[in-house]
Amino acid sequence: MDEQEYERDEQTLEARRLKRLEQKRKRKMQQRIVGGVLLVIVVLVIVLLARSCGKKKTAQTAAAPASSQPASSEPAVQTTPDTVATLAAVGDIMVYDNQIADAKQADGTYNFDDNFKAVSAQTAGADFTVGNLELNFCGAPYSGFPSFKAPEALAATLKNVGFDLMQTANTYSIQNGLTGLQSTLQYLDAAGLAHVGTYATQADKTKDGGAVLEDVGGIKVAFIAFTKGVNNISVPAGSEYAVNLLYTDYATDYSKVDESAILNAVQAAKALDPDVIVAMLHWGAEYETAISDTQTKIKDLLFQNGVDVILGSHSHIVGPMQEEPVTTVDGEQKTCFVAYSLGNFFSGKEQAHTAESCVLTLEFTKNGETGDTTISNVSYVPVYLADSGADASPEFEVLPIRDAIESGLFPDLQQTMTDAIANLRTDTASDYDSGK
Q: Do the beta carbons of residue 153 and residue 110 sit within 8 Å?
A: yes
Identify the CA nearest to 359 among candidates 379, 336, 339, 375.
Answer: 379
**What does the chain come to in residues?**
436
Identify the CA nearest to 317 among candidates 347, 296, 292.
Answer: 347
The span from the CA of 273 to the CA of 390, in Å, is: 50
Q: Do the beta carbons of residue 395 and residue 389 sit within 8 Å?
A: yes
State residue 51's pLDDT score: 52
Cβ-proximal residues to 2 (8 Å cutoff; 6+ apart), any chain = none
The span from the CA of 410 to the CA of 121, in Å, is: 19
Cβ-proximal residues to 214 (8 Å cutoff; 6+ apart), any chain = 128, 164, 165, 194, 220, 221, 222, 223
Task: Tell me the helix, strand and coil percentages in the chain, rounded to 5.
Answer: 40, 25, 35
DSSP letter at 81 equals P
- Strand bridging mode 194-196 / 165-167: parallel
In SS3 terms, 185-198 reads as: HHHHHHHCCEEECE
The CATH number for 83-428, chosen from 3.30.70.3000, 3.40.50.10480, 3.40.50.1370, 3.60.21.10, is 3.60.21.10
State residue 25's pLDDT score: 52
The span from the CA of 428 to the CA of 341, in Å, is: 9
The verdict on pTM exceeding 0.85 is: no
- Strand bridging mode 373-387 / 396-400: antiparallel
State residue 64's pLDDT score: 44
The span from the CA of 231 to the CA of 229, in Å, is: 6
State residue 80's pLDDT score: 87
CB atoms within 10 A of CB 116: 25
Domain ranges of the chain: 83-428
The span from the CA of 327 to the CA of 178, in Å, is: 40
Give the pLDDT means over successive 10-residue stretches in the chain (436 positions).
46 50 51 50 48 44 45 61 97 97 96 97 98 97 96 98 98 97 98 98 96 98 98 96 97 96 98 98 96 98 98 98 97 97 95 96 96 97 95 95 96 96 97 96
User: b vs e for 45-77, b when ≥16 Cβ sit within 10 Å of the residue's Cβ?
Assistant: eeeeeeeeeeeeeeeeeeeeeeeeeeeeeeeee
DSSP letter for each residue of 135-149: SB---SSPB-TTT-B
Residue 199 forms beta bridges with which residues?
A: none
